[in-house]
Amino acid sequence: MKKLLWIMVGLLVFMLAACSGDSNSGSSGEGESDGPVEITYLKPGADTPDTRERVQGIIDRFEKENPTIKVKLEAVGWDNAYQKLVTGFNGGSSPDVFSGGTRWLTAFADMDGILPITDMASDKLKEYPEALQKSSQYKGEIYALPQAFSARALIYRSDLIKEPPKTWDELVATAKKVQEENSGMYGFAISGAAHVSTTTQYFNYLLQNGGQVFDEDGNVAINSPEAVEALEYYRDFYTKEKVVPNPVEYNRELLPVLFKEGKIAMYVIGPWGKSLMGVDPDNKETPYKTAPLPKGKKMANVLVSDSNYISAKTEHPKEAYKFLEFMASLEEQTKFDKANGSLPMLKEEAKDPFFKEDPYFSTFVDMIEYGEPQPAPAVWEPFQEIITQSVQRALDGEDPQAVLDEAAKQIKDQQLEPK
């Protein structure tokens, strides 16, 4: 009887030990894993075949160098990415690593959705331009590594405009001249549709006029004299000078189509404008060149970026950061930017002849020096709506001072200041 009892006790101990072993399976860094650690990577835009193939190539190369880590790619469209991530933060189903707009950083940090990576990324972040370093930090912590970004330049018809405009006044004068000489063509184009690009297009002029969206303490400054003057200038392209088609009908991504069709002679965009037009600069129908933005009180432009984040809920922070660091290596980042038509992210990468010597890309690279980070409100989406509606109201004839005063009040009332 006693022997049977000891056998039963032995079996129970064995079963408990087995269960304990199972619970440690796959644990990070303990040397007890029965197989590779798996992390998930959510990539907005990977719902399209070309982007998915490009990202999967990065994953394949990472897994080859790191056989103890497997990366599962999850795809989502950009239109659904923000809401999917917020839902995941609240429901506990976040991916380990994900890409997203840098403009989302403050909101994600405030909702404790992303992991501070200051201890791991302090040295790495120094490899980026200063504006991108600033946009990756919040309240003294590093929360992301930049993945892609864009400066702005002017694209103009080189067969119709011999010397591109260098100042705000020259921009209007050049637009008028080319419009008068070419029936059915507008001299310039801007965006005013309900789209993120309307904010960045207006902000270029705001920054060039010495204005700010938020001051250094996070107080809203969108209704300053400089901001109002910039909005008046932006409005006058349409209401006074009449050198642009109705801006409210177009977001920035539609302007390259108008240009290719010969309906406009100039517009402002990032380096991806070339791919949206689908023609080389030396084509016979619409030959074009790039030039620095026409200068206001100073030279400036908004640097808009996407970043890679680590979820605060990840069980594998070391492996997740290892994947981030791999994607941000000089070799991988250069491959990504060349294939994606993006500007060089890293200071060292910018020395590559592909970016410096190409007459199209070199202008965008030069504009990096004058880049300022995109504003970082507490939550981007309602902020974007407030600014866009203010621009649209000014284009519709309302007083710029009045609409920006109201915008400032809404930003305060909705607690969107980054304090």
Looking at 357-399, list the stretches that DSSP marks H as alpha helix, in order from N- to C-terminal side: 361-367, 380-395
Answer for the pair 397, 253: CB distance below 8 angstroms, yes or no. Answer: no
Q: Which residues contact 180 (CB under 8 A, 6 or more apart)?
A: none
The region of weakest confidence among 1-10, 80-89, 282-291, 351-360 is: 1-10
DSSP code, position 344: P
In this prediction, residue 316 carries a pLDDT of 97
| Pick from 384, 400, 387, 404: nearest CA to 236 | 400
What whole-number percentage of the chain has pLDDT above 70? 92
Q: What is the pTM of this model?
A: 0.80
CA 241-243-246 angle, to 5 degrees, is 105
CATH superfamily of the domain spanning 153-302+374-413:
Periplasmic binding protein-like II (3.40.190.10)
Token pair listed for 146 = 């930049």
DSSP code, position 147: E
Each residue's pLDDT tens digit, 330-344: 999 999 988 877 889
In this prediction, residue 111 carries a pLDDT of 92
Query: 335 vs 34, which has greater pLDDT?
Result: 335
Q: How far apart (Å, rounded) are the C-alpha atoms in residues 104 and 95?
A: 16
Q: Which residues contact 315 (CB under 8 A, 6 or more apart)?
A: 28, 96
CATH 3.30.450.40 at 37-149+305-363, yes or no: no
Answer for the pair 347, 339: CB distance below 8 angstroms, yes or no. Answer: no
Is the predicted pLDDT of residue 25 greater than 80, yes or no?
no
In the chain, % helix, strand, coil (3-state, to 5) comes to 50, 15, 35
Token pair listed for 401 = 């001072």
Is the predicted pLDDT of residue 11 greater than 50, yes or no?
no
Each residue's pLDDT tens digit, 249-297: 999 989 999 999 999 999 999 988 998 899 999 999 999 999 999 999 9
Q: How far apart (Å, rounded) are the C-alpha atoms in residues 174 and 266?
A: 9
The region of weakest confidence among 26-30, 191-195, 381-385 is: 26-30
* Tokens 């080189």, located at residue: 158
Each residue's pLDDT tens digit, 126-183: 999 888 899 999 999 999 999 988 899 999 999 999 999 999 999 999 999 999 999 9
**Which residue ranges make up each domain of the chain?**
37-149+305-363, 153-302+374-413
Token pair listed for 228 = 């109002």
Q: Which residues contact 15 (CB under 8 A, 6 or more apart)?
A: none
What average pLDDT score do residues 353-360 get?
87
| Pick from 330, 363, 328, 347: nearest CA to 131 | 347
What average pLDDT score do residues 206-219 get?
96
